[in-house]
């Protein structure tokens, strides 16, 4: 079922990607020089669809990085809770073993007081 849903999403996206690439094959010149933008030596000429896809990939990576950095506090808090839970489990196991050993040591005493 999961493969079917993945195919149902990825196949139309692939078709859209191919249609987009064929529709935007025109070459564009990209330059980062705001004063000499007409000089082709400082720019890069490439198809428009490559530029758009590269900018989209950069946006996804930048957004993912920003989200990961913002969630640092929550990851730290989660690790602290996991550490506390581990310590509590160890303490609980210790208390249970002490309780069980105390109960087993009392059982013979209870059987002697039958009178």
The whole-angstrom separation of Cα 57 and Cα 63 is: 10
Tens digits of pLDDT across the chain (115 residues): 888 888 888 888 888 888 888 888 888 888 877 776 566 677 888 888 888 888 888 999 999 999 999 988 888 888 889 999 999 999 999 999 988 888 777 655 555 555 4
Burial of 73 (0-12, 13-18, 19+ CB in 10 A): exposed
Burial of 28 (0-12, 13-18, 19+ CB in 10 A): middle
């Amino acid at each position: 079922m999961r493969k079917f849903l993945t195919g149902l999403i990825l196949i139309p996206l692939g078709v859209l990607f191919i249609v987009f690439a064929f529709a935007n094959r025109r070459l564009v010149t990209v330059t980062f020089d705001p004063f000499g933008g007409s000089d082709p030596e400082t720019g890069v000429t490439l198809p428009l669809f490559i530029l758009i896809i590269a900018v989209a990939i950069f946006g996804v990576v930048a957004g993912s990085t920003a989200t990961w950095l913002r969630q640092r506090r929550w990851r730290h808090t989660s690790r602290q809770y996991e550490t506390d839970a581990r310590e509590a489990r160890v303490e609980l196991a210790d208390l249970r073993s002490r309780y069980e050993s105390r109960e087993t040591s009392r059982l013979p005493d209870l059987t002697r007081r039958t009178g």
